[in-house]
Structure 1
Amino acid sequence: MYKWIITLALAALPVVAQAQATRLQSLETTDSGREWLAVGRLDVDGTGFCTGALIAPDLVLTAAHCLYDKHTKQRIDPTRIEFLAGWRRGAASAYRPVRRAVEHPGYRFDGDVSADRVRNDVALLQLQQPIRNTTVIPFETGHQPRTGESVGVVSYAHDRAEAPSLQRICPIMARQQGVLVMSCDVDFGSSGAPVFSFEGNHPRIVSVVSAKAEVEGARVALGSSLEDTLALLRTELEADRNPASRTLPRVNRSTSGNTGISGAKFVKP
């Protein structure tokens, strides 16, 4: 369901001190899922689904490749996408169709699978109407985490389509050209799932899931960078409302602390 499988052949993946990754915890009950109601399932044109998260009453963050039909390679009409906030066991805390959607301007769906494609795999969806439900609280966003830092993921997947699951701890194994390599358990349908940092008083979204991969036989998740990206997407969304105002901000990407990814072997989905 809108997920890439990429095999990485990394010659020198950094060895970092890592916390033990925790197992998935189902959030199918009201009590367990209460904190995560702003994570929802994105039903895409009746053919599949992704995961998305509310970052404002009318804005959902997800992966850019969720906006494309994987067979025709064409962009899906965003009004045929619906956000089901807190979806579990046949009911959601809020239902909202999407009004418009923008993706990172550097993202290319029908191209070579590469670090650039994963790094830019971010989209922002504007809902038809804001969600004003007091139990569905949009998440704040934060800075990209460091290598070795523990993050968490809340996601749906093909084998857990009716309720999300939380993996509270999955360490960052590497940061490579803006791509996060994480020991997180994701699968088809997890595309666009929010990656959370738990530093501070409440969780903040620091990345979104773009793909699953393998490193030396071990399953990992690849996350897109949010550095500079959200400001860019908000500008794109405003330009989509008013094309005459299209002026994109300048983006400077920092690669400090990243190891090279030139030895990676990417296989097309």
Structure 2
Amino acid sequence: MKRLLLKTAICLVVTASIVQAQTGNQRRLTDRDDLYGWEAVGRLDIGEQGFCTATLIAQDLVLTAAHCALDKATGEPYAPGVLTFRAGLSDGRSLADRKVVQIAAPSDFVANNPVSARRVRRDVALMRLEEPIPYSIANPFALHSGRLSGTEISVASYGRGRTEAITRQRSCRILQRGQGIISFNCDVTLGSSGSAILAKSGPRWQILSVVSAVGSDGRRKVGYGMELSEIVPELKAILHRDAPRPAVTIRRIQPGSNRSTSGAKFISSDGS
């Protein structure tokens, strides 16, 4: 099984083909009732170039694929403000729009390299939003931990032919899992990159993987994602390390007065 997984992963070919929605297994989420519980899924607009799918994992953190967050021409993360996360976008309306102001991706991920098993394993990015999205608007998804019960998974994404509303495939299955790669038979297409592969944990779905690529094993269309348990903490550490620091100012306070003249020096991290 591991040998087959590695062989098919190395032979991945990104395809622009569209597989028609399977009646009864996919649902377009358009009104508020449909979106309930799925508000944290959003379309990630890449300027005027295109879009991917992304998912909130904290009020101000979004998870997606690294190839959605890096400029292929330069290999660098997109500049602050280029990417926009549109939570729960449905027919032109989103529940919240937020600009992306910070991006963390693995240093060994090369944006313009061809698809390969190694690339899929590292194709993850974590992004900080300009301001948090309140829990009252969207409840972030947790990352899956512990053992997975069964092979049933779900995916909610945007994609070519379904750009204006989330399409949720309620049930698809893991095909193989090993060597840091997960393959699955969920219906993904262009634009689905970066969407969360979700596994049930109690009453709520949790993020098991992120859609990186779609290819073929010679018999059928197959989607590929990666294991997240080690890479997400790595990306959180990068965000923390590189986060902009608040400006520090020094004020001279005259004892017994609120005037800034001379006397003791106080340092305030918020500038007050």
Task: Return the structure number with greater relative CO, CA threshold 8 A, min gap 6.
Answer: 1
CA deviations on 1:103-133 (whole Å, 9 max, x unpaired) are 1233222334321110110000000000115
**Aligned letter for 1:62?**
T
SS class of match (1:135): coil
SS class of match (1:49): strand
Report the CA distance shift for 1:145/1:86 in structure 2 as closer, same or farther (over 3 A): farther
Equivalent residue runs for 1:115-126 within 5 Å: 115-126=117-128
Aligned to 1:194: 196
Unaligned runs of 5+ residues in structure 1 are 10-19, 244-269
Aligned to 1:210: 212
Percent identical residues: 38
Distance in 1 of aligned mates of 2:104 and 2:74? 19
**Is the 1:154–1:166 contact (alpha carbons within 8 Å) kept by the matching residues of 2?**
yes
Aligned to 2:163: 161
Question: Once superposed, what is the RMSD of the aligned Cα atoms?
Answer: 2.5
Equivalent residue runs for 1:44-193 within 5 Å: 44-70=46-72, 75-143=77-145, 149-193=151-195
Report the CA distance shift for 1:72/1:193 in structure 2 as closer, same or farther (over 3 A): same
**Is the 2:148–2:199 contact (alpha carbons within 8 Å) kept by the matching residues of 1?**
no
SS class of match (1:232): helix
Report the CA distance shift for 1:99/1:75 in structure 2 as closer, same or farther (over 3 A): closer
Structure showing greater radius of gyration is 2
Which of 25-34 and 232-241 deviates more?
25-34
CA deviations on 1:31-50 (whole Å, 9 max, x unpaired) are 11221011000000211001
Q: 1:235 aligns with which of 230, 234, 237?
A: 237
Distance apart, 1:144 and its partner CA? 7.4
SS class of match (1:117): helix
TM-score with structure 2 length normalisation? 0.77
**Aligned letter for 2:67?**
H
SS class of match (1:140): coil
Distance in 2 of aligned mates of 1:141 and 1:68? 23
Unaligned runs of 5+ residues in structure 2 are 1-8, 14-21, 246-272
Which of 227-236 and 106-115 deviates more?
106-115
